[in-house]
Amino acid sequence: MSDLTFYNAVIPALDHRMANLAHILRVGQANAGERKIDEAVFLNARLAPDMASLTGQVQLATSLAKACPFRVTGQTPPVYEDNEQSFDDLYARIDKTRKDISGFGPDDINGREGFEFAVKLGPNMRDFTGITYASGFIMPNVLFHCTTAYNILRHNGVPLGKKDFFDT
């Protein structure tokens, strides 16, 4: 078992969430095909009128995940255009996120727990340290948006189970 380090607690977990997100999307896409449902029905589905669609949930999860290592190392994260219109577009976005995340190694992340920075959230700036950003903001938000994507597909009859949420 590896030691608990900042890197080990954050980067592999984000990568696993992204891999799992791609898995649940593949199950959803396959189910749409089996049931002869236009994929756009799932991609545009939402749990409530004021919540983001499935596509929006994936965009939010990936944007948050890729931002984490950049911000905790004092860099500006790349901006992704939110123009995905298909499952294949979403897979490409997830792959891009995983590639961006994997560009950081333990030497980049470890020791950055106390690094102080601010992020604009809505109209306000919010102060963080590396650890408060990763553990108190990024991880819960990524998990929320991945869970919501899962729930949108489940709500639309996609046969996903708890094992699908955790395994890839």
* Nearest C-alpha neighbor of 40 from the set 32, 50, 48: 32
- pLDDT score for 1: 47
What's the pTM value of the predicted model, to 2 decimals? 0.95
What the block records as the tokens of 86 is: 């298909």
Count helices and strands (H / E) in the chain.
Answer: 8, 2
Q: What is the mean pLDDT of residues 32-54?
A: 98
Q: What is the mean pLDDT of residues 124-153?
A: 98
pLDDT, averaged across the chain: 96
Domains of the chain: 7-166 (1.20.120.450)
- pLDDT score for 167: 76
- The SS3 of residue 50 is coil
- Is residue 168 predicted with pLDDT exceeding 90? no
Q: What is the mean pLDDT of residues 59-87?
A: 97
